[in-house]
Amino acid sequence: MIFTQVSQAPADPILGLTDAFKADERPHKVNLGVGIYKNEAGQTPVLNSVKKAEAILLETEQTKNYLGIEGVLAYNQVVQSLLFGKDSQIITDKRAATAQAPGGTGALRVAAEFLLSNTVSRTIWVSNPTWANHQNIFETAGLTVKQYAYYVPETHDMDFDAMVEDLSNATAGDVVLLHGCCHNPTGIDLNIEQWKIIGQLCLEKSLLPLFDFAYQGFGVGIEEDAQGLRAVAAIVPELLVANSFSKNFGLYNERIGAVTLVAEDAETALRSFSQIKKTIRANYSNPPAHGGLIVSTILSNDELRAEWELELAEMRLRIAKMRTLFVDSLKAEGVEQDFSFISRQNGMFSFSGLNKQQVARLKDEFAIYIVGSGRISVAGLTQQNIPIVCKAIAQV
Ligand code: PLP
């Protein structure tokens, strides 16, 4: 027998938690593990703009024929406008090439395989800490993963000097994974001056930035959140972006993202992109159409786009409100530890500072599910569950 020798794989640290949550029969359970937006009613509804785009598609769709390897062409154009700005010189100079990909995860995997087969890059630097799946994706693809300093638990803040120092020790050709905005899991982003310093460092040391951009619009705003990417792109001649629309369009299960390559000129972009297409062909041949059609329909229709922007702003503002309420409620529960840093962080997540034992007690005694690192998905908090969560935290 062959399969009898196969060992049990460990449960995914985040999705495994969701399985445990689903199996928990306690009625007051709260899931603050996986990064999914929930509204005040604790639901993750389909956006209205998405529903309307789907109605248009149902009406107008003529074929289920294969897409090209790079996916929906109109989608790839709107992705570039969102990333670099609609009047970006990168776009007019045709220095960017985009392929639709199955989610941000699919885009990261395509980027990793492209790097391995076509460049000298064998090493990718990720922040310490980073999204739990980064190491898994890059190592499975065959890259060596190294860490650069980022977060200091004691101060609940980043150590930018240490980050620069670590990246100064990287070798020419190494890849640097950067979170475009709403750093997962810490919620702490670089400011514009720091982005420029990182861009300059990449230029001087010949490091290749790979932006993971999964939360555009969840920080400050759609344009504002792209400032870091745009600042670096203005400095370095080439980079990669893996973006996702799972969160900002609520299209989690449609698996919709994109991988974008920026090269120093149009000819190099096109040639390098042929290798990205080769990678895709060997993996899943061509992407599923539905998510790409939804996003391109919304973004190329003024009315739907305006509605989507409002819906995104509503999600962003609700999370910001939950941050403040969470901090205030913890204080009101008599928690002495200072949690005010939570209201200064960006995006869906907060690195709460709760330790492994406290996280375990929250789950076992109070049915509150948080990732072992202490990362809380603030997007899962509601006015209703905040008192329950804060009371429990006060006890642990
Ligand atoms: N990158 C980061 C930082 C994420 O947090 C996530 C999702 O949680 C992704 C990428 C992947 O997104 P997707 O679900 O589109 O694959």
- The number of helices, as runs of H, and strands, as runs of E, in the chain is 14, 13
Domains within the chain, CATH numbers bracketed:
7-45+306-395 (3.90.1150.10), 67-300 (3.40.640.10)
Distance 258 CA to ligand 1 centre (A): 12
179 CA: nearest ligand 1 atom: 3
Q: Are 184 and 214 in contact (CB under 8 A)?
A: yes
Nearest residue by C-alpha to atom 6 in ligand 1: 214
Distance 108 CA to ligand 1 centre (A): 9
* pLDDT at res. 353: 85
344-387 pLDDT, tens per residue? 898 999 888 889 999 999 999 999 999 988 899 999 999 999 99
Q: Is 122 exposed, middle or buried (0-12, 13-18, 19+ CB in 10 A)?
A: middle
Helix (H, G, I), strand (E, B) or coil at 108: helix
* pLDDT at res. 373: 86
Q: What is the DSSP letter of 1?
A: -
247 is catalytic: yes
Distance 104 CA to ligand 1 centre (A): 5
Distance 211 CA to ligand 1 centre (A): 12
280 vs 266: CA distance, rounded Å: 21
324-336 pLDDT, tens per residue? 999 999 999 988 8
Q: Are 214 and 247 in contact (CB under 8 A)?
A: yes
* pLDDT at res. 121: 81
73 vs 287: CA distance, rounded Å: 12
Given the residues 212, 225, 308, 363, the one annotated as active site:
212
Q: Are 209 and 174 in contact (CB under 8 A)?
A: no
User: pLDDT band at residue 170, thresholds of 50, 70 and 90?
Assistant: very high
CB-based pocket (< 6 A), ligand 1? 35, 103-105, 131, 179, 184, 212, 214, 244, 246, 257
Query: Could you report the predicted ipTM of this complex, rounded to two decimals?
Result: 0.99
**Ligand 1 pocket: which of 244, 253, 256, 375 to mutate (most atoms within 8 A of CB):** 244
195 is catalytic: no
293 vs 298: CA distance, rounded Å: 9
Given the residues 131, 174, 189, 195, the one annotated as active site:
131
131 is catalytic: yes
Rounded to two decimals, the pTM is 0.95
Q: Determine the residue type at 180.
A: G
160 vs 183: CA distance, rounded Å: 14
244 CA: nearest ligand 1 atom: 15
